[in-house]
Structure 1
Amino acid sequence: MLEIPRVTENGNIGPVNSALVPRFGGAPTYALLPRLDEVAAAGQSADIKVVGVPFDAGVSYRSGTRFGSGHIRQSSRLLRPYNPATDTSPFAQVQVADAGDMAVNPFNIHEAIEAVQQDALDLTEDGASLMTLGGDHTIALPLLRAASQRAGEPVALLHFDAHLDTWDTYFGAEYTHGTPFRRAVEEGILDTEAISHVGTRGPLYGKKDLEDDRRFGFGIVTSSDVFRQGVDEVVGRLRDRIGNRPLYISVDIDVLDPAHAPGTGTPEAGGMTSRELLEIIRGLRGMNLVGADVVEVSPAYDHAELTGIAASHVAYDLISLMADLRAGRAEGAEGTQQTGETA
């Protein structure tokens, strides 16, 4: 078997060395990172694990997000090890590895939800952080269950999405991509003083949708708010609302305008730009991020790979926040104080 030259720094096994191997060749792991089994074979454990969930049994309109995680990986080949926007080298600061895809039942949504929850718990049993590539937004519920269980308390949530996803049922079904956060509130796994939607827009079924959402405790930052108030003010509002609580970030790629992310199942006009989304995420640096997902990428509708590229960069910046936080904790344990920059 051919030996794959990799970038190795601080004892962490990094991505394939693209100065020696063409980016378009080799296995399509996320950002050309080592597989989890390769890291384990080297006698190391992963601090951050990237995992896919190829599942779309919960969609209500255009299907195809079951191919999303693979598409995001393919679109991530051009990512490089140093992130100048946050002045971090996430793959050098901590060990990041691709854990492959969860095996979930494509025909039974209840079994799939249980499998995602258990796999998330298994992957984080050693203290690792999880960056999940969807898949449709149904998977956010079991991921939040696992994150709350690991945190030992309800978690804060920033939900980037065109839609509220707090509806009750579709055709009598309680578990779909439009209901995960209503179920999460009902189950008590969210800290309802620290939850917010970001980027919402478009028509609703009625005013009651917003009334229900407020009753659950959600704040709302619409895409119009981002445009009119600007990134810095929005970041300040979000940081004030969340504080230092354990935070989960869930990103539905349809939070972006279809001009930036056409490859999704339920597109809505008037969305955020990819630049705005990335800048808001970067502004959350130093917050207590315990897990994240990027979902609803449908490659069949993704001309010119725009959506996959955007999603891969969103995941990269989320990983950068996780790596920065974990490296700061490690240094703090050794007596070195480190504070994250804020927007």
Structure 2
Amino acid sequence: MNNSTTNGLTSPRFSNTGNFMRMPHVTTAENTDFVIVGVPFDTASSFRTGSRFGPNAVRTISAMIKPNNVQLKVNVLEHLEGGDYGDIPIVPGYMEPTFQSIERELDTILSHDSIPITIGGDHSIVLPELRAIAKKHGPVALVHYDAHADINDTVFGEKHNHGTPFRRAIEEGLIDPSRSIQIGMRGSLYFADEFEEAARLGLKLIPAHEVRELGFEKIGQMIRERVGDHKAFFSFDIDFVDPAYAPGTGTPEVGGFTSFEALDLIRKVKDINFVGFDMVEVLPAYDHAEITAYLGANVCFEFMSMIAYRKIK
């Protein structure tokens, strides 16, 4: 890692915040293992707006994170080259030019064989991310942790919304449904057969109550077997976590996972060959004591740690 990374033992963590973990700002992904990318876009939100401020909130509190991941036994600053790429230019209120901008920037990042870790923003941003990923790697497996399946055909009569991106991704051939898996869905539904609809689309969906019944070790095994050695994309919606632990989000659902459980479930898939990640739907206006933003920052840290783990294994 670039030696200009700020050390929390020599510089107070409340100083010089702005970049993720106070890493260097980079203007190119050349010679990097990963880059942190912000996408402050929330036009596709269906209830609360404000996740456009998520990337900034996550970056600010990420100054609290130290470089050693004890569970994965890696130091991300020693084993990886990377930095904070800044925010992708978006057009508030306009999805198509924003999606084009996201895809274009990720094309550039991926051309350097760097792995993007994207901070949203609402979940609609995953579609242009996957468009760029598929151009580079072909259809990928999807590992999706969320309270919602996001496979609606339309929302309010529109094809593009934060509740529709994975149906669009399947239609566009961006992901391989036979290799893809969705974890943690819960709550009341508009359509009683939504989980069956996921199966009709070729996805495997394991709702939250079945995750509890099967146990985390079994779930980790099922995810790894589903994906196999296929290249994969990890999409994490912060509302996967119970609002008691992550209140700052736009569409909270009770009956979710603790922050400890969420991180544990992420580590269960450390051996998968991920070529991209995102963490979305942090909404600071509804957060308390920055606990949601801090959890989001730790999710991104786990993503970095998995890249390091695979690099040195």
TM range (shorter): over 0.9
Aligned residues: 313
User: What is aligned with 1:276?
Assistant: 261
**What's the secondary structure of 1:197's corresponding residue?**
strand
Greater CA radius of gyration, 1 or 2? 1
Q: C-alpha offsets along residues 20-74 of structure 1, whole Å, 9 cap, x if unaligned?
A: 110001132101111114x88xxx7322100000000000000000000011111
8 Å CA contact 2:140–2:232 kept in 1: the answer is yes
Identify the residue that residue 251 of structure 1 maps to in structure 2: 236
Q: Is residue 250 of structure 2 the alignment partner of residue 265 of structure 1? A: yes
Unaligned runs of 5+ in 1: 1-7, 329-337, 339-343
TM-score by length of 1: 0.88
Q: Within the alignment, does 1:56 sit opposite 2:42 as a pair?
A: yes
Map of 1:299 onto structure 2: 284
The aligned counterpart of 2:153 is 168
Q: Equivalent of 1:108, from 94, 109, 115?
A: 94
The letter of the residue matching 2:225 is: D
2:272, 2:16 → 1: CA distance?
Answer: 35
Per the alignment, residue 301 of structure 2 pairs with 316
Name the CA distance, whole Å, in 2 between partners of 1:106 and 1:273: 33
Which segment is superposed worse, 228-237 or 245-254?
A: 228-237
Give the Cα–Cα distance (whole angstroms) in 2 for the partners of residues 13 and 20 of structure 1.
13
Structure 2 counterpart of 1:241, which letter? R
> Which of 187, 190, 194 is matched with 2:175 structurally?
190
Q: How does 1:92-107 map to 2 (within 5 A)?
A: 92-107=78-93
Aligned residue among 25, 48, 66 for 2:15:
25
| CA distance in structure 1 between the partners assigned to 2:196 and 2:298 by the alignment | 34
Task: Measure, in 2, the Cα distance between the counterparts of 1:145 and 1:276.
Answer: 30
1:149 to 131, 135, 144: 135
Q: Aligned partners of 1:274, 1:27: CA distance in 2, in Å?
A: 24
Match of 2:6 among 13, 16, 22: 16
Q: Percent identity among equivalent residues?
A: 38
Specify the code of the residue in structure 2 equivalent to 1:150. K
Matches of residues 176-215 of structure 1 in structure 2 within 5 Å?
176-215=161-200
CA distance in 2: counterparts of 1:254 and 1:133, whole angstroms:
14
Per mean C-alpha deviation after superposition, the further-off stretch among 181-190 and 226-235 is: 226-235
User: Does residue 235 of structure 1 match 2:220?
Assistant: yes
Q: CA deviation at 1:13?
A: 3.2
Tell me if structure 2 keeps the 8 A contact 1:14–1:91.
Answer: no
CA positional deviation for 1:227 = 2.2
Question: Quick check: 1:86–1:320 contact (8 Å CA) kept in 2?
Answer: yes
Alpha-carbon distance change, 173 to 307 in structure 1, aligned in 2, over 3 angstroms: same
Provide the rounded CA distance (Å) in 2 between the counterparts of 1:85 and 1:76. Answer: 19
Letter in 2 for 1:124: L
Are the counterparts in 2 of residues 263 and 299 from structure 1 also a CA contact under 8 Å?
yes
Structure 2 gaps of 5+ residues are none
Residue 76 of structure 1 deviates from its aligned partner by: 0.7
Shift of 1:14: 6.1
The structural deviation recorded for 1:137 is 0.2
